[in-house]
Amino acid sequence: MKRIVYREWHIPPARYWGILGILVSVMALGGLAALYLEHEGHWVTGMNNFVVWGVPHVFAVFLIVAASGAINVASIATVFGKGAYLPLGRLSGLLAVTLLIGGLLILVLDLGRPDRLLVALTHYNLRSIFAWNIYFYTGFVALVIAYLWSMADRMGARFKHTLGVLAFGWRLALTTATGSIFGFLVARQAFDTAFLAPMFVIMSLAYGLAIFILVLMFTFHQEERVLGDQLLRRLKNLLGVFVAAVLYFTLVYYLTKAYGAKNYDLVGWLLFGGGGYSILLWIGWILIGTLVPLAMFWHPRTRRDRRFIAVACALVILGGLAALYVILIGSQVYPLQIFPGQTILDSGFADGIKVADSTYHPSLPELLLGLGGVAVALFLTAVGVRVLQFLPDSLADAELPADTEEPSAGKVSYVDDLATG
């Protein structure tokens, strides 16, 4: 067993600056969209008084959820003692921080008064899960940075296990709280269930790992570092399990909703009558985002092919965006049931309008803002791996540390760059 060596990401400068250039361009477009929104007001978006959260929130929630999933790779090594994941811990922590920053940036820039961010940091209503989340997000960033330090610095090594367990618990709380933002909304039928909290946790595991695998494959491929087949197979199989678990949770979510007579109409609308939303649910979320990648992960003819694995990861990500689009926006488009048993003939405020796609049309600035957040996350990651030693020199199967006999609780934690067999 060799020691794990980490090295900066040294791809040819032209290619590196090209990547940065593309990311900076997307960031600039997102920034311009944010300025445009702040200057003109939200009338330039498709959001309105009925669909108050739109495409920016789909991207923001996706990134935040994925961030808490990305740290999972480090947890598997630190908390659950899987040695093969040990060299992946640093990249896992980096992605967790950058994805979260990208997501938060979108949320903040979409506020009606982004200039009042200071107010959000100084006035707290502790009954609000949203206010709790401000603590969860900032605390997560701080905790993961400390965790990264404990992974990289010999001084910090003895805190690594504690910090790893803490980060694992914190990320569970964070994703639970993010799901609860929607789960606590008693007013809207499609939300209003505590089930959304664990469902978001499962989604985070899938989306975070999909992004992690893609970033790992891309960075290693660009620099021709060795990424062992066995390790990739383990990661891929794990992602398959997570994606299947999301499918299970999706199924149970709609089944529990369909159980009450008051929700027959809602579930019928979402699954079949919702026009674009139903199509997105079946084609985007279930088919492209779940069944196709699962087939690619396990079909004998594709499961060893790295191209298929990469494509499957990308599909999981697209499926995740589709899922969140349906969960966030579809649930708002479905009208509030203020008058059960009554048909709304006429209203001065679009009550009861249920024609699919009638109340929300995403606009270009919203999309650019969302993509800008993604670009920020990737930009920070690209800079991080270039200037600091986040990526292991080699992930050849023979060089991976063995699993520890038991989770390393109670023992003095090993320093991972000096790991011995």
Torsion of CA 267, 336, 194, 249, to 10 degrees: 20
Do the beta carbons of residue 33 and residue 25 sit within 8 Å? no
Print burial letters for 174-184: b (CB count within 10 Å at least 16), e (below 16): bbbbbbbbbbb
- Smallest CA-to-CA distance from 46 within 363, 388, 299, 284 is with 363
Q: Which is nearer to another protein, 341 or 421 (CB)?
A: 341
CA 38 vs. chain centroid, Å, equals 26
Q: Which is nearer to another protein, 240 or 335 (CB)?
A: 335
Distance CA 221, CA 377 (A): 20
Q: Which is nearer to another protein, 346 or 405 (CB)?
A: 346
- Smallest CA-to-CA distance from 390 within 23, 97, 25 is with 97
Q: Which is nearer to another protein, 52 or 279 (CB)?
A: 52
* 6: β partners: 392
Give kind and range of the element (H or E) at residue 159: none
Report in angstroms how near the CB of residue 201 gets to another protein at its nearest.
21
Report in angstroms how near the CB of residue 330 gets to another protein at its nearest.
14
Is residue 373 classed as helix, strand or coil in its secondary structure? Answer: helix
Distances (CA, A) of 71 to 17, 127, 135: 27, 28, 18
Report in angstroms how near the CB of residue 340 gets to another protein at its nearest.
9
Report in angstroms how near the CB of residue 121 gets to another protein at its nearest.
9
Distance CA 370, CA 54 (A): 10
Distance CA 346, CA 367 (A): 33
Q: At residue 7, what are phi and psi to the nearest 5 degrees? A: -145, 145
Q: Which is nearer to another protein, 117 or 398 (CB)?
A: 117
Distance CA 415, CA 156 (A): 9
- Smallest CA-to-CA distance from 90 within 196, 219, 277, 222 is with 219
Q: Which is nearer to another protein, 183 or 240 (CB)?
A: 183
Report in angstroms how near the CB of residue 344 gets to another protein at its nearest.
6
Contact footprint for another protein (CB under 8 A): 40-43, 46, 48-50, 52-53, 111-114, 116-117, 119-120, 123-125, 127-131, 134, 181, 184-188, 191, 332, 336, 338-339, 341-351, 359
Report in angstroms how near the CB of residue 42 gets to another protein at its nearest.
4
Q: Which is nearer to another protein, 48 or 302 (CB)?
A: 48
Report in angstroms how near the CB of residue 139 gets to another protein at its nearest.
16
Token pair for 385: 């791996």
Q: Which is nearer to another protein, 71 or 199 (CB)?
A: 199
Report in angstroms how near the CB of residue 300 gets to another protein at its nearest.
46
Q: Which is nearer to another protein, 300 or 348 (CB)?
A: 348
Report in angstroms how near the CB of residue 134 gets to another protein at its nearest.
7
Within 10 A of 315 (CB to CB), how many other CB atoms are there?
22
Report in angstroms how near the CB of residue 41 gets to another protein at its nearest.
4
Within 10 A of 39 (CB to CB), how many other CB atoms are there?
8
Region of 41 please: left (phi>0), alpha (psi -120 to 50) or beta.
left
Q: Which is nearer to another protein, 63 or 419 (CB)?
A: 63
